[in-house]
Amino acid sequence: MLFNTLEFVVFFAVVFGFYCALSHRWQNRMLLVASYVFYGAWDYRFCSLMAITTIADFFISNALHESENEKTRRRWLLASISLNLVILGFFKYFNFFIDSAHTLLTNVGFEFSPVTLSIVLPVGISFYTFQEMSYVIDVYRKRITPAKSLSDFALFVSFFPQLVAGPIERSQNLLGQIEQPRRMTWDGWCDGATLFLIGLFKKVAVADVLAPIVEQAFSNPASHTPFSLLFALYCFSFQIYSDFSGYTDMARGIAKFMGFELMENFNQPYFASNITDFWRRWHISLSTWLRDYLYIPLGGNRYGTFKTYRNLFLTMFLGGLWHGASWTFAIWGSLHGLYLAVHKFMLDGRKPAEAKSNALLSLVKIVIVFHLVALTWIFFRAETFANSFAYLKGLFVAGGTNSFDADTLTSGFLAIFTLITLIDIPQFMRNDHCVMLKWPFPRRVLAFTALSVWLLLMRGTENAPFIYFQF
């Protein structure tokens, strides 16, 4: 059930109607049922999988909290992490590891027939698994006390607006809001509606419009001219951004309607002036998760220069693999790890440059960072290494002759231009995702009308699922 479908509109109307009428306790119970219905709409069988890890983590975290013995506490923590990673590993990485082992052993002369299974990846498993793991680790670190009610914890894990593609919430934020009565406000509704409209616009009028252009180029990069490949790469950079941040905006908007405040996941990442800044703005809930539960436990920057670089690289490498069971994702993550290490090396011993108002220099930095990031997207989007290298080759060495027609170039350009001028620049200037609501009435009406009309005009006929659902 995608947010941009009539099914979801009906689903949410029913849920919201009940939500307004019910008392706090019953709201939570109803939301839990609704979340499982929402998740079951993809594949009802995976509801039981989510329920198993939820129940296990609830009891483990309580046992962990009650135990004073450090050894026992560690065992409980290990049990929870093992359970979560085994399930995630089986569903997401089983075939990947088998295939990789097969390739490796074949290359060194051992022939064997690998056993691969036809496994369906449960939607959103990476998101809710990381959310549960952070909860148990936080209980272990005594940063939070465990949830008192199993149903509240289950709702924390399965809360439908952010269940399938994040943001990966922390218990300090979301669980607290679940446990306390919530108030709905007029301003909350306005913010929620604005965020939802912006998210819908990003998904339907930008990401879905760019998708066919990207598909055309990546399906056969060798046949396209370097200019076409560069254009398609820009298109993918904005497709993935609008697709994912659009989902987050819609999730946050839906939650705001009900009085919940989900964390920000994107903050105009393509306006980042260095790569570290990019990761403070892109998929914030994952980058902070990786920082808090991987980079810092690995040692962070506490054990010297080499280990800092190693930790950065390793964190981003695993971050890449989190996205998907493929070495192309690992390369994508490794490249970002390399960028971050190089940036750290460049900064070593120096403080980051003060943000001086040199607009031209800032713009140059933004353009450079954008292109560095765009290059890594090739590995993210391509399905195989061969495809990635064919794309890179085509980009830098003129080979193919296919180019996009004027209509395709215009629609791609217009989608990106509208996104940047109507949404990203105003949000960036005021550092406010609902900046439109603060504009004077005529400007506000014109902007919302433009968004709505553009949405109705550009809505593709494809209704493609969100890219991040596969992770």
Catalytic residues: 323
Q: At its nearest, how many Å lie between other proteins and the CB of residue 5?
A: 5
Site for other proteins in 10-39 (CB under 8 A): 19-24, 26-27
Site for other proteins in 179-218 (CB under 8 A): 181-186, 193
- Measured CA to CA, the distance from residue 457 to residue 166 in angstroms comes to 28
Task: CB nearer to other proteins: give 41 or 150.
Answer: 41
Q: Is 432 in the site for other proteins (CB under 8 A)?
A: no
Q: At its nearest, how many Å lie between other proteins and the CB of residue 182?
A: 6
Q: At its nearest, how many Å lie between other proteins and the CB of residue 180?
A: 11
> What one-letter code names the amino acid at 317?
F
DSSP state of 204: I
Q: At its nearest, how many Å lie between other proteins and the CB of residue 364?
A: 36
Q: Phi then psi for 126, rounded to 5 degrees?
A: -65, -35
> Is residue 402 within 8 Å of 226, Cβ to Cβ?
no
Q: At its nearest, how many Å lie between other proteins and the CB of residue 164?
A: 17
In degrees, rounded to 5, the angle at the alpha carbon of residue 4 between the alpha carbons of residues 329 and 287 is: 35
> Is residue 92 within 8 Å of 125, Cβ to Cβ?
yes
149 burial level (CB within 10 Å; 0-12, 13-18, 19+): middle
Q: Is 410 in the site for other proteins (CB under 8 A)?
A: no
- Is residue 281 left, alpha or beta, with left meaning phi > 0 and alpha meaning psi from -120 to 50? alpha
> Is residue 200 within 8 Å of 4, Cβ to Cβ?
yes
Figure out which of the listed residues 103, 421, 449, 470 binds other proteins, where binding follows CB under 8 A: 449
- Residue 255: C-alpha distances to residues 48, 162, 237, 356, 404 (Å): 24, 9, 27, 37, 40
Figure out which of the listed residues 78, 222, 368, 456 binds other proteins, where binding follows CB under 8 A: 456
Instruction: Say how many residues touch other proteins, by CB under 8 A.
Output: 34
Pick the stretch among 50-58, 111-119, 175-183, 287-295 that binds other proteins (CB under 8 A): 175-183
Figure out which of the listed residues 115, 346, 397, 457 binds other proteins, where binding follows CB under 8 A: 457
Q: Is 259 in the site for other proteins (CB under 8 A)?
A: yes
Residue 51 neighbours by CB under 8 Å, 6+ apart: 36, 154
CB atoms inside a 10 Å sphere around CB 362: 14
> Is residue 218 within 8 Å of 232, Cβ to Cβ?
yes
- Measured CA to CA, the distance from residue 242 to residue 302 in angstroms comes to 36
Q: Is 463 in the site for other proteins (CB under 8 A)?
A: yes
Give the end-to-end CA distance of the chain in Å, rounded to a whole number: 16
Q: Is 6 in the site for other proteins (CB under 8 A)?
A: yes
Task: CB nearer to other proteins: give 24 or 74.
Answer: 24
DSSP state of 143: S
Q: Is 461 in the site for other proteins (CB under 8 A)?
A: yes
Task: CB nearer to other proteins: give 13 or 456.
Answer: 456
- Measured CA to CA, the distance from residue 161 to residue 3 in angstroms comes to 9
Figure out which of the listed residues 102, 280, 393, 444 binds other proteins, where binding follows CB under 8 A: 444
- Could you tell me the sign of the dihedral formed by the alpha carbons of 120, 126, 127, 132, in that order? positive
Pick the stretch among 71-79, 131-139, 380-388, 451-459 that binds other proteins (CB under 8 A): 451-459
> Is residue 314 within 8 Å of 298, Cβ to Cβ?
yes
Pick the stretch among 1-9, 65-73, 84-92, 419-427 that binds other proteins (CB under 8 A): 1-9
- Residue 45: C-alpha distances to residues 32, 231, 294, 439, 454 (Å): 17, 41, 31, 47, 39
Task: CB nearer to other proteins: give 9 or 364.
Answer: 9
Q: Is 106 in the site for other proteins (CB under 8 A)?
A: no
Figure out which of the listed residues 94, 370, 428, 448 binds other proteins, where binding follows CB under 8 A: 448
Task: CB nearer to other proteins: give 4 or 84.
Answer: 4
Q: At its nearest, how many Å lie between other proteins and the CB of residue 448?
A: 5
- Measured CA to CA, the distance from residue 151 to residue 34 in angstroms comes to 13
Q: Is 459 in the site for other proteins (CB under 8 A)?
A: yes
Q: At its nearest, how many Å lie between other proteins and the CB of residue 257?
A: 11
Q: Is 401 in the site for other proteins (CB under 8 A)?
A: no
Figure out which of the listed residues 5, 145, 172, 421 binds other proteins, where binding follows CB under 8 A: 5
DSSP state of 326: S
Q: At its nearest, how many Å lie between other proteins and the CB of residue 457?
A: 6
Q: For the chain, what's the residue count?
A: 471
Binding site for other proteins (CB under 8 A): 4-6, 19-24, 26-27, 181-186, 193, 258-259, 441, 444-445, 448-449, 452-453, 456-459, 461-463
